[in-house]
A and B are shown apart, each in its own frame.
Chain A
């Protein structure tokens, strides 16, 4: 891997450095080895993912970013077992995984709550599948609903909830099944900016309070930096690991840090990786035709 070129705050702040050292000492939860995925298509095969290698440690928060179509969803679906890999393997706690299972919880971008079940019954779903008694599942579910702050809505149907509330229930539902790792595929992508900011804060709070490892996909750089310990940057065609960045913004995180030097430096680095400056930048300019004399006294026409 290339060395980081951004001014290394790792060296400047011993607290951050210690945190990362400690993190790397922890158990490896997810180990992705030489993962590749090819899709059949009209003209031969398309390589969606190639040689993906990374690990996540226990209680680590890893974000995956990359341009759209680079294979982020494909990657997370393979990890969840919803799609099979063409090559390589995925180890969970050292054991290879095949097929979906409750040990890898998933929160999707779209709303996938069961519309015919109330919030409480949605959260109970995973517990009942694993053979819990109804009484136990119910009290357990209520704890998770409390955790995401929706106890008042326990008996509502998903249709009666806002988008943000639905995703909170989805998080509670996934966590209630006691997964080793929580996989999240752009879970806040469909939410408005304000709700999204609130959800990010919620998620960090939940993550801080329970023993869970999170792999979070996003295409929002700020979101990735705000949430992650480390950021896996993918590049497109074929989807490959571009770089793995350690986020030096100290925890606990808060929105004020968006303008801290660490944050901005990381942001700049990610920007360079995802939008590399190219010579044919001119091509991006719109072919603007002036139909009218648009100039006025504020912004004169040339």
Chain B
């Protein structure tokens, strides 16, 4: 077994990878999709179902730069050939909704350097900043109520019975369904957007935090009791410090959740933020800009999660699971 141990490591269930392999495979998780994208974009005949006209030849309605289906192009060229007119020329192309990587990179660069074409348009970073403030405001408001409530529900059976059945019911109601109501109550600006993200996050948050709190090892509470801890001391000196790292991990996941509600929330009332940017650019068929915006959201999400995970290791040096993840 030991002679080919190294090469078979990645086939063994739940065995840690050596550092070099770990890094390599992490890198591959990003490089592989980009590689596929590049192949599809730059190597013709993998996909390229369209033709972009470079020279209309004898076809009346063809124009330079025009994009059309390969079959249409082929029938037209055949027709020209049989009528012995000038043949049209074109290069294979992908549909407009799949821009090539270099186009997206260029769009990304342009969006930060050149002013928007229309006056009503926002800079990409302005839209982004608006979205970020909406998400974080909603998440903050949800957390300051849901986290303490969840901890109390997870600690005291009476609080749990009083709260959780209703929360359990409410979380099945789709948050976007409250859109019209939220607009009626809170106006058309950021109010209803924050409300939707709040509704989408809050009820899940209470239940998740309560469950996490319930997972605290009961014997820790018993040990504290035999050491003379009483009522509130148990809550503040055992329950809360005991669940804090798990709770922090929950919050990281829930923050991602809040982001997914953003897209729906921003379509309510007056469109705004990154969603408005994306829908607007899609309408003008600037799909390179659309991809650039989506890409940036991904990067923001990933970066903030990495920062939070690093911070978690600092905050909870005693927690071995957070030191691994």
Contacts and interface: CB of A to CB of B under 8 A. Distances in A.
B226 A102 contact: yes
Interface stretch (A44-52, A106-114, A219-227, A272-280): A106-114
Contacts of A110: 219
A104 interface: yes
Contacts of B238: 114
A81 B242 CA distance: 23
> Which of A102, A110, A129, A174 has the most chain B CB within a 10 Å cutoff?
A129
Q: For chain B, what secondary structure do more than half of its interface residues adopt (helix, strand, loop), or is it mixed? A: helix
Q: For chain A, what secondary structure do more than half of its interface residues adopt (helix, strand, loop), or is it mixed? A: loop
B223 interface: yes
Nearest to B230: A129
A214 to B, nearest CB: 15
A114 B241 contact: yes
Interface string B212-248: 0000010110111111111001000110011010000
A159 B223 contact: no
B228 A159 contact: no
A36 to B, nearest CB: 22
A110 B223 CA distance: 11
Contact of A130 (B217, B219, B228): B228
A80 B228 CA distance: 11
B241 A100 contact: no
Contacts of B223: 106, 108, 112-114
Contacts, number: 72
Interface residues of B, number: 23
A151 B242 CA distance: 25
A6 interface: no
B305 interface: no
Contacts of B230: 129
A175 to B, nearest CB: 11
A116 B227 contact: no
B298 interface: no
Interface of A: 80-82, 100-102, 104-106, 108, 110, 112-117, 125-126, 129-130, 157-159, 173-174, 177, 183
Given A105-B226, A125-B227, A158-B318, 14 more contacts: A105-B227, A114-B220, A114-B242, A115-B319, A116-B242, A116-B244, A116-B318, A117-B318, A126-B227, A129-B229, A129-B233, A173-B227, A174-B226, A177-B228
